């Protein structure tokens, strides 16, 4: 493991769509890992797909991450680094590790089908390597533009110590030489990402377990680029458990429903609860939400994540949100609610969301319809209401007197009073409600 000052991770979304909870999982764990090591969190926009990348989506990604509290220490944009990918292309060609291929998608598809019919794995046959200059010139004359593949060392076994899964080994011969540059000249993710990771000093790549097979090509490409002068340290890899939705389906089927944009607009979800949930997903223990998510970095340990497939349940985030809201100090919510500090302190322990606090303004100060099912009992309660100033001691005096007069106790004594005064079956401590409500409103409610 690197020393804490050397740890640097990256979250590298493509601004071609909205962030969703699956992205938040990867972003949160990278951020928490960096903070737990005193390291650096890099936000990199992977926007080399110029047709689909959009500036407003890049801005929304930044808004979503700020909302979650995942501030970044460094920022990079791939479309501003195209010269570095061009330099890498030329260096790899000169080193004999990048070669042009002229097959069309249809021809490649046919090759794969033939291999599968023969019971062979669909690995690219490297026919393009043996083509002559005349053959290549003929393809160019036909108007074909080559795509470029990275030549793997297929005799090698690629080994790495995965910081989540432990020791991993994959034989390179099981993989096709990856395409690094499309026929239209666009640099693909594998090339641009590896160049950036090396040159920007990324030490750890934490990502989903569906990328394990990609690691073979990336490790070899890292080594090749490092040897050609593109940066110095090959990052360590950590492959996190693949996350499914609560029904066991792939998250990708309902990403719009799980978008952070939608959750930002939901009164039921606080961002700190999302990060706490992500810090727990795939581990045996549920972390408690914290006002300051940096607290979650204390004790954050990748060893706690297992290789199982955790299920993401938005309902669990709402439960954590309620836990958080009930402990939030007024200073953290005063700009989001009309209630004053006294009211917040009264109702917060009973809330599921910050927005719910305002419903108590109507209950405490408005003209609600009291619920009176036993008029005779409430009339007696009205008679027993203590004289003098109303404070938190009033409730005990009142209910003590009423118990003596009515013979009632427990729920039969208290619940009709709560219903008559608040119209609710549950809520904050009645002694504090009476003190906050005051004599005039309490007597008016009891009088029906």
- The pLDDT assigned to 308 comes to 72
SS3 readout for 251-294: HHHHCCCCEHHHHHCCCCCCHHHHHHHHHHCCCCCCCCCCCCCH
E strand or H helix at 74, and its extent?
Answer: strand 74-77
Domain limits, the chain: 245-331, 367-446
pLDDT digits (tens, 9 = 90+) for 167-199: 999 988 889 999 999 999 999 999 999 999 999
Sorted by sequence, the CB contacts under 8 Å of residue 420 that are 6+ apart come out as 370, 371, 372, 378, 381, 445, 446, 448
- The pLDDT assigned to 448 comes to 80
Please state which CATH class domain 367-446 belongs to.
mainly alpha
pLDDT digits (tens, 9 = 90+) for 130-139: 999 999 999 9
Count CB neighbours of 223 within 10 A: 14
Better pLDDT: 49 or 160: 160
Better pLDDT: 388 or 88: 88
pLDDT digits (tens, 9 = 90+) for 272-318: 999 999 999 988 888 899 889 999 999 899 988 875 778 888 899 99
367-446 shares the fold of 245-331: no
The residue among 158, 101, 157, 91 whose CA lies nearest residue 127 is 101
pTM of the model: 0.89
- The pLDDT assigned to 4 comes to 41
Give mean pLDDT, residues 225-246: 90
Burial of 118 (0-12, 13-18, 19+ CB in 10 A): exposed
Count CB neighbours of 250 within 10 A: 13
pLDDT digits (tens, 9 = 90+) for 387-436: 989 999 999 999 999 999 999 999 999 999 999 999 999 999 999 999 99
Query: CB–CB of 302/166 below 8 Å?
Result: no
What does the alpha-carbon distance between residue 121 and residue 404 come to, in Å, rounded to a whole number? Answer: 86
Pick the CATH number of 245-331 from 3.30.70.980, 3.40.50.1370, 3.30.70.260, 1.10.1160.10: 1.10.1160.10
Q: Where are the alpha helices (DSSP H) in 47-131?
A: 55-68, 82-94, 105-117
Instruction: Tell me the three state secondary structure of residue 208.
Output: strand
Give mean pLDDT, residues 23-31: 96
Instruction: Tell me the three state secondary structure of residue 215.
Output: helix
């Amino acid at each position: 493991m690197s020393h804490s000052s050397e740890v640097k991770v990256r979250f590298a979304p493509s601004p071609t769509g909205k962030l969703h909870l699956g992205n938040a999982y990867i972003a949160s764990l990278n951020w928490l890992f960096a903070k737990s090591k005193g390291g650096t969190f890099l936000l990199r926009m992977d926007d080399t797909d110029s047709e689909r990348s959009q500036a407003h989506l890049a801005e929304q990604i930044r808004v979503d991450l700020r909302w979650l509290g995942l501030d970044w220490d460094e920022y990079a944009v791939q479309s501003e680094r195209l010269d570095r990918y061009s330099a890498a292309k030329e260096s790899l060609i000169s080193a004999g590790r990048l070669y042009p291929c002229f097959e069309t998608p249809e021809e490649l598809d046919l090759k794969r089908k033939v291999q599968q019919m023969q019971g062979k794995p669909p690995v690219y046959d490297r026919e393009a390597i043996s083509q002559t200059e005349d053959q290549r010139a003929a393809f160019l004359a036909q108007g074909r533009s080559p795509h470029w593949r990275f030549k793997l060392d297929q005799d090698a076994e690629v080994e790495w110590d995965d910081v989540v899964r432990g020791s991993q080994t994959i034989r390179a011969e099981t993989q096709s030489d990856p395409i690094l540059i499309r026929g239209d000249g666009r640099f693909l993710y594998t090339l641009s990402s590896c160049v950036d990771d090396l040159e920007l000093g990324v030490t750890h790549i934490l990502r989903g377990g569906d990328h394990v097979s990609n690691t073979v090509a990336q490790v070899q490409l890292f080594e090749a680029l490092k040897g050609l002068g593109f940066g110095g340290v090959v990052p360590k890899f950590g492959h996190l458990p693949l996350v499914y939705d609560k029904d066991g389906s792939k998250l990708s089927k309902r990403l719009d429903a799980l978008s952070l944009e939608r959750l930002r607009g939901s009164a039921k979800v606080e961002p700190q609860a999302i990060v706490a949930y992500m810090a727990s997903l795939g581990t045996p223990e549920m972390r408690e939400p914290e006002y300051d998510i940096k607290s979650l970095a204390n004790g954050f340990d990748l060893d706690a994540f297992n290789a199982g497939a955790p299920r993401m349940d938005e309902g669990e985030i709402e439960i954590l949100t309620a836990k958080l809201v009930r402990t939030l100090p007024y200073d953290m919510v005063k700009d989001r609610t009309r209630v004053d500090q006294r009211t917040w302190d009264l109702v917060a322990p009973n809330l599921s969301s910050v927005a719910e606090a305002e419903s108590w303004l109507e209950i405490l100060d408005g003209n609600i319809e009291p619920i009176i099912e036993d008029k005779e009992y409430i009339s007696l309660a009205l008679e027993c209401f203590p004289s003098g100033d109303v404070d938190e001691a009033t409730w005990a005096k009142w209910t003590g007197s009423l118990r003596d007069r009515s013979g009632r106790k427990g729920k039969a004594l208290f619940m009709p009073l709560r219903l008559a005064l608040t119209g609710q079956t549950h809520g904050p401590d009645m002694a504090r409600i009476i003190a906050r409500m005051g004599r005039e409103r309490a007597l008016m409610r009891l009088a029906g």
